[in-house]
Structure 1
Amino acid sequence: MSVRKAIAWASASKLLSFTIAFASSIVVARFFLTPAEVGLFSIAFAATALIAVLQEFGLNRYIVGEAELGEEKLHTAFSVSLAVAWGIALVILAAAKPLSWLYGDPKLFPLMLVIGSSYLFVPLAIVPTALRQRAMDFRSDFMIEVGASITNAAVAISLAAAGKGPMALAWGALAQQVARALVSQWRNGWIFPWPLRFAGASHVLRFGGGSTLLQIFDSVGTRSPDLIVGGIAGNTAVGLYSRASGLAVQLVNLMTGAVNSVFYPALAQMRNEGKSLGEPYLRLVAGYTGIVWPALAGLAVASYPLVHALYGPRWTEVAPILSLLAIAEMIFVALPMSVQVPILLGRLDGVLKRTGTATAVAVALLFVGARYGGQAAASAYVLYAAIWFVLYVVFLRSLTGFSWSGLFADYARSLLGAAAAVAPLLACYRWLTPPTAMSFGELIPPVIAGVLLWLGTLVAIRHPIVPDIRHLASVTIGRFARRRASES
């Protein structure tokens, strides 16, 4: 499969999965669950995910990036994956009762049991999914992700409507992992490493050990806000924070996940061929910031009318938190694939040092911010993002060799595009309707105007992504014309 087709399938997978998950979250939050109930689930899910990060053990990156992956290496990797993942799943189940004691809420116990049980199925999907990505078979990846999302949404909404409360979300998470395991196994030929093989496992363990430490740091940075805010500010506060965080992160994953999943194996091929990654990395920066920055800026500016329209009045306090977290995500997007590129170039040690430092800073800042509520915690997260950027930008330049002038030129063009995208909405706030009073219908015209102004600005300033946008537009128009011609 070509890179363009792979990106198309991966993009469709991310878009449809995001749409399903997003629509499901709106239905559940607006009609069935309160912020406190969502907060309770968020604490349970964050606690289990913090432990479950050990499950993957870096096997996805190992299988996709390993230069010479034979049957014996694959068998060993799968065996290690099962042994580690099932061991971690048992730890999660054992931690259910102590966590409910720690938070003083017995309702956490059944939530963690169900969520923890879902991780028993995770290892059955890790290796099959990685093999499909290594083969650039993103059609199968589409089936895996969309099938899992549909299953989660169907179960969660059905049980929430039946009055099961936060347990509906837990059962949805379990159903999602079962579906992912079944579909990934089906698409890869029902593989299972039996008998288990651990000969030559030292190489896998060395790679997995370093990669897992990195994942621990990343998980602490992303999951600790829910646990810290929940422990200090309560279930309602963490419910509001987690909803805002989910919106911002889901938008970024929607817009970048496809590129990440395709470009990692593509960059691995360039590395194997001895090519420089400097210019390709700058093209990646231009693509990320040129497209994602305007979307995140729009999310930040439109937070009040958007949250009110989607979730209803009881979720209004999500809006200011969402604006701050969208700004933080803009900072993270400024350095795309900040972990994957160093790992490809053999510098996992440098990633571990920087990520460990940034994680410690994040936890410390969140402990301080959470004492003053969700907005203060979100402000602390923005400060953490800025510190993370400083730690990584010089490191990535030393590895790829990109030019400072090229990097900041991309940033300047993308910022102009982002400013143009939100200008019509800001003008409406200033002269027509304030954000707290704007309806969803009133939001649509300035958003459309912003998209058109953004495109015009990109063309005027000759942004590097303009040729890609023109190519995509011409392909889309051509396909539409051919379809109309065949129908007539």
Structure 2
Amino acid sequence: MTAPSPTDDGREPATMSVANAAVWAMAGQYLSFAIQFLTSVIISRFFLTPPEVGLFSIALAAAMVVSVLQDFGLTRYIAGLPRIDAEAQARCSSVALTFSFVVAGLIAALALPMAHAYHQPALAPMLLIIAGSYLFVPLAVVPMALMARTMSFRCHFSVNVGGALAQGIVALTLAAMGFSAFALAWATLANGAARGIIAQWMRPALPWPLRFDGVKPIVTTGSRLTFLYGWGALGTRTPDMIVGKLLGLLAVGLYSRATSLSDQFRMLMSGAIGSVFFPAFARIRDRGDPLGPAYARVIAGYTAIIWPGMAGLALAAAPVVRLLYGAKWMAVAPLLSTISLTEIFLVMLPMHTDLSILMGRTNRLIGLYMVDTAVSLSLLAAGSLLWGTQGAAFSRLIYGAFWVLLYGRFIHGIAGFNVRAVILIYAKSAIACLAALAPLVLTYLLWAGPYVISTGLLFANVALGGGLWLAAMIGLHHPALDDLIGLVAHLPGGRKIHPLLRTMVRV
């Protein structure tokens, strides 16, 4: 199942439709999520303690700050090219290989300083293992970008699921053998190796022989994007390091587990679709069509699904943590409730980075990122010092509200969406969200609170909430409804359900 290659003159092969691409991207995202999620649950329940998870979280956070160099903007650069030939591929692969060594070297150089800064000698060898995983990155970067360019998300599926399987098997095996937090580090290395090998098998683009002539446009674009992503990484990757330094390993273990669960749940709903939207919007731009109507549809889809999902996770945090991780992790629940609500703000203006890159507004975005990062880290540090882990979590909620105010006018200037139409979308999504939450809220008030509710009763409330959400979506004629129903037709067995859903909507 090898993806087709571009021809020598740069012409692209036929691509799958956006809907089919979305289905494959979602399938890969969901299955990868299920594997990683199940792995984290088993490891947390049976093998690792919060301080052990906290130690790995600090090491991974330090590595991820540096890892913004790994892609060097190649994915976006390749996606944005009008056409690409074998020579351009060779140049991109060579740049990817070069920067993989840069990233691995920088992470390795951090090993001893980090170990001394946190008074944790185990951080040094752990960071060296994680550094090794980045040597496999160039094997996957260009093939994955070429797959995305032609919307070959069937191949993305194989790469993502294969990497998740390798990571899960190694993590569980080594954790059971008593490798402690090092099991997670070796699993990271296994993930990188598996992704690189599978990507090259699906879409060969080896970074050899090296070719550096004509790389100036790549380096120019990559430098700007890397600087941009670097500021973003400071805001998203350093919180674990800050909490760990200020509050200790136990605190960062709890905080990291809360943010990880929130991120995983949000990615389950939105991450795959986002990878499809970038090339789709690139097509709209290339045709010269206005972005506003399409962007409003994206907002509708994100808020219709993610708002009730994240609000529901916040409301059900205690029973979810008890079910998944057990009693020793119950301190995660209040942190998870607060952090999950932050996502409601962060999906109000989706694709803010992607649209800025597509429309050539990266310089302005870099300035906003600098303000964004400064405010985010200042709020986190202040919250941690004043109120501990709960203060750190609450700082994320304040940051989310600030984020919307910071980027609102900027994104409107790029996408040109109708403000009144978007406000109406927000209102309809909020009503559908409240409908979804109503059964669980009433259950808490009348029968069983969050710390005593049974698993069966929780699932019953979720199912009832899902039914009320769908009824609200239909009753409100939510603009995302047509897109969601259309997506059902591309799922296995969806062609039988699709006419029924259409009939329900018309009625």
TM-score range, shorter chain: over 0.9
CA deviation profile, 1:124-166 (whole Å, cap 9, x unmatched): 2111111111111111000000000011001001111111100
Shift of 1:449: 0.7
Once residues 436 and 467 of structure 1 are traced to their aligned partners in structure 2, the CA distance between those partners, rounded to angstroms, is 38
CA distance in 2, matches of 1:69, 1:444: 49
Change (3 A) 1:108 1:193: closer
| Alignment equivalent of 2:46, drawn from 7, 31, 35 | 31
Q: Are the equivalent residues in 1 in contact too, given 2:262–2:339 (CA < 8 A)? A: yes
Q: For residues 13-412 of structure 1, what are the structure 2 equivalents within 5 Å? A: 13-189=28-204, 191-371=205-385, 372-412=387-427
Tell me how far apart the structure 1 counterparts of residues 50 and 72 of structure 2 sit (CA, whole Å): 33
Tell me, yes or no, if the aligned pair for 1:86 and 1:123 is still in contact at 8 Å. Answer: no
Taking the aligned partners of 2:61 and 2:335, their CA distance within structure 1 comes to: 19
The Cα of 1:3 is off from its aligned counterpart by: 1.0
Q: Which runs of 5 or more structure 2 residues have no equivalent in the other structure? A: 1-15, 499-507
Equivalent residue in structure 2 for 1:443, among 458, 461, 468 = 458
Distance 1:472 1:142 in 2: 17
The answer to whether the Cα contact below 8 Å between 1:18 and 1:250 also exists between their aligned partners in 2 is yes
CA shift in 2, pair 1:431/1:334, >3 Å: same
Q: Is the 8 A contact 2:353 2:365 kept in 1?
A: yes
Shift of 1:80: 1.4
**SS, match of residue 241 in structure 1:** helix
* 2:96–2:207 Cα contact (<8 Å) kept: no
Distance 2:96 2:276 in 1: 23
Query: Structure 1 unaligned runs (5+)?
Result: 483-488
Match in the other structure for 2:431:
416
SS at match of 2:136: coil
How many residue pairs match? The answer is 481
SS of 2:238's partner is helix
C-alpha separation between the residues in 2 aligned to 1:463 and 1:313? 40
CA RMSD of aligned residues (A): 1.4
Deviates more, 1:364-373 or 1:239-248: 364-373
**Aligned partners of 1:99 and 1:472: how far apart in 2?**
47
TM-score by length of 1: 0.96
Alpha-carbon offset, residue 441 of structure 1? 2.0
Residue identity in the other structure for 2:62: A
- How far does the alpha carbon of each residue in 1:304-362 deviate from its partner, in whole angstroms, 9 at most, with x for none? 01101110011111111111111111111111111101110111112111111100111
Q: Does the C-alpha gap of structure 1 residues 481 and 226 become closer, same or farther in structure 2, counting only changes over 3 Å?
A: closer
SS at match of 1:258: helix
TM norm structure 2: 0.93
Deviation for aligned residue 1:472:
4.1
TM-superposed CA distance for 1:193, in Å, is: 3.1
Asked if structure 2 preserves the Cα contact closer than 8 Å seen for 1:47 and 1:223, the reply is yes
Aligned counterpart, 1:458: 473
User: Counterparts of 1:224 and 1:437 in 2: how far apart (Å)?
Assistant: 35
Deviations 1:268-294 (A, max 9, x none): 011011110000000000000001111
Q: Percent of aligned positions with the same letter in both sequences? A: 43
Shift of 1:439: 2.5
Question: Deviation of residue 250 (structure 1)?
Answer: 1.0
